[in-house]
Structure 1
Amino acid sequence: MAKRTLKADASQSARKANAFPYLGTPLNERLKHSNNVDLTNNHKITDKGAGYWEIRPLDASL
């Protein structure tokens, strides 16, 4: 049986990179770059009533 090789079209790889440019960047680095707080195990949820919730970080320096 002959081996088959798939060749990626250059336009396909460029399209994928433009669709999601941070594909190889970890979440923590993306959060630091955008000056956001990681809320994983660092949040308090308060019910405001009428379907509204407030999510606040416990430690905003993380």
Structure 2
Amino acid sequence: MKEMKTKIFLARANSPSMKGTIPLSIVEALKLEHGDEIDWQIEVRNGKIVAVMEKVNSL
């Protein structure tokens, strides 16, 4: 699979939350649409911290 990079930005001033863009190839693979809900899990694989996302429902 092709390596993808995304820049992360503050969601808003005075907030610890961050936001970024989901690359188009992931949007297409998961068939994501505006308003869809995704579930995130953090796992350790081979000593690396990995974020796993899964589409859980659509509007």
Shorter-normalised TM-score: what interval? under 0.3
TM-score by length of 2: 0.24
Highest relative contact order (Cα 8 Å, sep 6+), 1 or 2?
2
Report which of the two structures shows the higher radius of gyration computed on alpha carbons: 1
Q: Structure 1 or 2: larger strand share?
A: 2
Structure (1 or 2) with the greater helix fraction: 1
TM-score, normalised on structure 1?
0.24
